[in-house]
Structure 1
């Protein structure tokens, strides 16, 4: 169980460090209120985890020897993102909405767009884990999202550190 928790923490931190910067942008923007950012981020992240779980079901129809090949998925996604960056194609931009549900959906959509590579990381792990391990991983992820949200919100609202972010 401790090894599963360790893997989950490492996997979350490695695949979501960039989310802190996105969250700083949302929390620092006047048009977004904290509850909208929190709900939207959990909505987007939950969608990524659900997509990873669905993709991991492929392992039920693949021979066990081929499940390991799912590990190439993050590499392929990374190469595609590198190619897109080289071409100058940045599809992670989103319009700032007016307010309310639009704000929640925008935060969720940006979370999905920013974290689409997470699917390639989570899928092979979910495919080779049992139900208990998957439950532990998802619980660690939920706590990790809460920590990311709390840290980002704190940083934006810090008297001296948050001032440049809120401008």
Structure 2
């Protein structure tokens, strides 16, 4: 069981390092509340775990090029944030109606899912052919690591020395981070060739 714990911790850390930077950006963006970021991150990780478990059950892997198509989502969200920043330079959020909270949670979740192609690629074989107890341990580790990632990003944004510059510039960098992650996802999964075909 200790080996399963170690593998789960290493797999999560290796496949979610980019999420740490995205979380810092979301926490630094005054348009997002901390709970919206945390809920969105958990929703995205839960969807990735569900997809991995389904893939392990079916013993089928979705071709990476099709998983890579999800890279379009962070690019679209980043471009949308740039558009609204240009249109409303005062920093007013583009979504001030009551449903905006749900949209923000879903935006974080979609970015998490989009950057999770490598998560699925690693998690499917990790879940495959394991007893239910070991699968449950892996899911529990992923949930705990998600909390650690959220706490770490939130801590950086609110750090005495680092927090002020991150809060001042983080929301401006977030759209560019999202676009860059989307392009990396498209490139790593050879999706640009699929789109051009």
TM range (shorter): 0.7 to 0.9
Deviation at 1:162, TM superposition (A): 1.6
Matched ranges for 1:64-103 at <5 A: 77=64, 91=72, 92-93=74-75, 94=77, 95-96=80-81, 98=95, 99-103=100-104
Q: Which residue of 2 aligns with 1:2?
A: 2
Deviation at 1:14, TM superposition (A): 0.6
TM (normalized to structure 2)? 0.68
- For structure 2, the 5+ residue unaligned runs are 82-93, 169-197
Deviation at 1:163, TM superposition (A): 1.8
Q: Which residue of 2 aligns with 1:105?
A: 106
Name segments (4+ residues, structure 1) moved above 4 Å. none
Q: Which residue of 2 aligns with 1:51?
A: 51
- CA deviation profile, 1:65-108 (whole Å, cap 9, x unmatched): xxxxx6xx7xx739x96xx9xxxxx6232134623111111111
Matched ranges for 1:1-167 at <5 A: 1-59=1-59, 77=64, 91=72, 92-93=74-75, 94=77, 95-96=80-81, 98=95, 99-167=100-168
Deviation at 1:166, TM superposition (A): 1.1
2: CA distance between counterparts of 1:18 and 1:41? 13
TM (normalized to structure 1)? 0.80
2: CA distance between counterparts of 1:161 and 1:45? 27
RMSD: 2.1
